[in-house]
Amino acid sequence: MFVIQRDAAVKILSIVLFFNILMGSGGKAEAFSNQVIQYGAVGEDVIELQSRLKYIGFYSKKIDGVFGWSTYWALRNFQYEFGLPIDGLAGSTTKAKLVKATKYNKSAAAPGKKPAAKPQASNVPNGFSQNDIKLMANAVYGEARGEPYMGQVAVAAVILNRFESSTFPNTISGVIFEPLAFTAVADGQIWLTPNDTARKAVLDAINGWDPTGNALYYFNPATATSKWIWSRPQIKRIGKHIFCK
């Protein structure tokens, strides 16, 4: 019963959004909430995103309010066609361009009335919190800035592989701050402000890209002196790092 009611509500809301897009209204555009919408998000923001992408031909699947792979790739294609940074994230610039492309403005709130709060999309890609993503981006930037992009994704993948392994802590923060686990924690570089590339590398790893072949460890052969790390079965080298089982 709940599923049927939810599907009906989503269908009604998507129809309303399509009608608003088709009709348009004067005034300043007020679309979406203020947060970045990304893979794994659910809610009204995603319904609006899907509706707009569908209206201009980038999205062809069911409007269900769930930011899955179809929505992700539709958004990336939109970003490519409109000359935006291609990251699969619906941030302020992408949302503004999408609003303009669909020529759709929400009606202004009635004077003297406070607009009703609407539910925002809940951004927890594959169950990871925004804090998890930020902390991983810090670790990737501290450990692998200057490495090729694949090498940065690889470091993020190692963190995730440890998180999923029963022999390591079962939280992202626990994995990263485990004693002697990461040089960036030991020397304080974990607290440097990460760039967009580090964050994108984290999201690509979360979305399933593991260029390491399920590695649990990595090291720089030019600086590593530990006999133990050299004894680990090596999988491959990416940039300056060797990745191991």
Going through the chain in order, the beta strands assigned E by DSSP cover 217-219, 234-238, 241-244
Nearest-Å Rg of the Cα atoms of the chain is 21
**Overall fold of domain 2-123:** Muramoyl-pentapeptide Carboxypeptidase; domain 1 (1.10.101)
- The string of pLDDT tens digits covering residues 84-95 is 998 889 999 999
Tokens representing residue 5 in the block: 């009611």
Identify whether the C-beta of residue 145 lies closer than 8 Å to the C-beta of residue 198. Answer: yes
- Whether residue 214 is predicted with pLDDT greater than 90 in this model: the reply is yes
- The string of pLDDT tens digits covering residues 177-209 is 999 899 999 889 999 999 999 999 999 999 889
- Whether residue 138 is predicted with pLDDT greater than 60 in this model: the reply is yes
- Please give the torsion angle defined by the CA atoms of residues 87, 88, 93 and 99, in that order, rounded to the nearest 10 degrees: 150
Which run of H or of E encompasses 35? none
Scored b (16 or more CB within 10 A) or e, 51-70 reads bbbbbeebbeeebbbbbeeb
Identify whether the C-beta of residue 118 lies closer than 8 Å to the C-beta of residue 126. Answer: no
- Per DSSP, the three-state class of 37 is strand
φ/ψ region of 242 (left if φ > 0, alpha if ψ in -120 to 50, else beta) reads beta
- Whether residue 112 is predicted with pLDDT greater than 50 in this model: the reply is no
Average pLDDT of span 94-110? 68
- Of residues 130 and 11, more confidence is placed in 130
- Whether residue 3 is predicted with pLDDT greater than 50 in this model: the reply is no
**Overall fold of domain 126-244:** Arc Repressor Mutant, subunit A (1.10.10)
- Whether pTM > 0.85 for this model: the answer is no
For residue 129, the model assigns a pLDDT of: 83
Average pLDDT of span 68-92? 89
Residues 6+ apart with CB under 8 A from 194: 134, 137, 138, 140, 141, 142
φ/ψ region of 88 (left if φ > 0, alpha if ψ in -120 to 50, else beta) reads left
- Per DSSP, the three-state class of 57 is coil
For residue 97, the model assigns a pLDDT of: 92
Could you state, in order of their start, the residue ranges of all structural domains in the chain?
2-123, 126-244
